[in-house]
Structure 1
């Protein structure tokens, strides 16, 4: 598969991921929405299904939809390094576009929300207790679990054209959706579990640009943590994968 095709599929898949992911948070957060007050579990399931939908659409490119996954696969020698920037570019653009689409879908709810200064969380993550080092550790651990699961999943392999295919051989991309729900339930409490640099940075940029009435700050001082933490977690997972004994055939 050429770099242009990878860029298109990753952009489309990541856009759907963020449209549905930011959409479920908007549904729970915004006052004049049917899902208002639906709670953390609804958000986690929404993000899980968002990952399923985005990954399924991006299947032709290997369904990374996450720079931490791309970097982990590259370190594990499953993706050519010259393709990494292409994946990153598609993922970041898709995340930005998905956030804009989520805002458009909920435009009237944003306009009538009674706390517009507190809408940043619809787009990007923030810690419940701000402690830089520990927030970073949380993101590293969550992403480590995600990427090592991908690398060790039954059926993980590289296709003939060099594009990696991964995921549970029986459940396909539904399996990673269950994992994301589990990560949110178990590890999402401290930081909102970005576990994906594009998922946080693209929508954060969109939030800074979009004409949301009386919106708050984009919190750029925190923004590096949900980028650096997942990338570190992805690399650590790949390094562990490289030293593990070969799986039985």
Structure 2
């Protein structure tokens, strides 16, 4: 697949991911929406379905949609002795960031009247970016490392784990040693689980583009009464997921039974 097609697929997929993911947050937290007060589990499931649809929308590029996943898979390839393309990695990450900004802008357009009516600047920022329940930048980073490690480890497992859909189960997937076409759904379930189990301390960014892109959109969009974009915290959902993703890539082959180089 040529780099231009990869760029477009990653951009569109990440835009869909953020549109639906930040969209469910807007529906839950903004004043006067039909889903106002829907709660944490609605957000969890909304983000999980957003991942599923985003990955399907970018299936042509492999649907990575997350710099932590992209870097984690690259690290795993290095450990396994496989070649990597630095240019492609950079292009994917750029597309993911642009797509995340675009998706966030569309969420603002969809909920424009509710943003205007919402009196709380923190609720407006929460639609776009994550924030901690208890602010401790070091421990918040640890939480993001752990949560993203789980995500990327799962991606590696779903891509390589033999026997999940083996021939003995009558698999029709293109690769009978992996989840094949069910992988997007499997990753979506993992995201729901991460949100329910590990999302409480930080809001589980687990994706630098998902947080930075919408935070940038929050900063430049003419949102009525929006307040600041909390840039003092913004490095946590970038650094934490990158560390967690790379760590999972480095150790995934060693610790996952049946995954070989």
Q: Which residue of 2 aligns with 1:46?
A: 46
Partners in 2 of 1:35 and 1:50 — Cα distance? 17
> How far did residue 155 of structure 1 move?
5.0
Count the aligned residue pairs. Answer: 241
> How far did residue 244 of structure 1 move?
4.0
Partners in 2 of 1:117 and 1:65 — Cα distance? 26
> How far did residue 115 of structure 1 move?
2.3
- Does 2:146 correspond to 1:135? no
Partners in 2 of 1:109 and 1:69 — Cα distance? 33
Partners in 2 of 1:73 and 1:81 — Cα distance? 12
Unmatched 5+ stretches in structure 2: 163-176
Deviations 1:119-156, CA, capped at 9 Å, x for gaps? 10100000010111100000000000000111111556
> How far did residue 95 of structure 1 move?
0.1
Asked if structure 2 preserves the Cα contact closer than 8 Å seen for 1:123 and 1:203, the reply is yes
- Report the aligned-residue RMSD: 2.0
Asked if structure 2 preserves the Cα contact closer than 8 Å seen for 1:139 and 1:233, the reply is yes
Partners in 2 of 1:119 and 1:199 — Cα distance? 16
169, 172, 179: which one aligns with 2:183: 172
Q: TM-score, normalised by structure 1?
A: 0.92
Structure-to-structure mapping, 1:180-195, within 5 angstroms: 180-195=191-206
Return the index of the structure with the highest Cα Rg. 2
Deviations 1:93-137, CA, capped at 9 Å, x for gaps? 000000000000001111122324531010000001011110000
> How far did residue 246 of structure 1 move?
7.0
> How far did residue 243 of structure 1 move?
3.1
Q: Which residue of 1 aligns with 2:74?
A: 74
Structure-to-structure mapping, 1:21-170, within 5 angstroms: 21-77=21-77, 79-116=84-121, 118-153=123-158, 155=160, 168-169=179-180
Give the SS at the match of 1:127. coil
CA gap 1:22/1:248 in 2 versus in 1, 3 angstroms: closer
Unmatched 5+ stretches in structure 1: 158-165
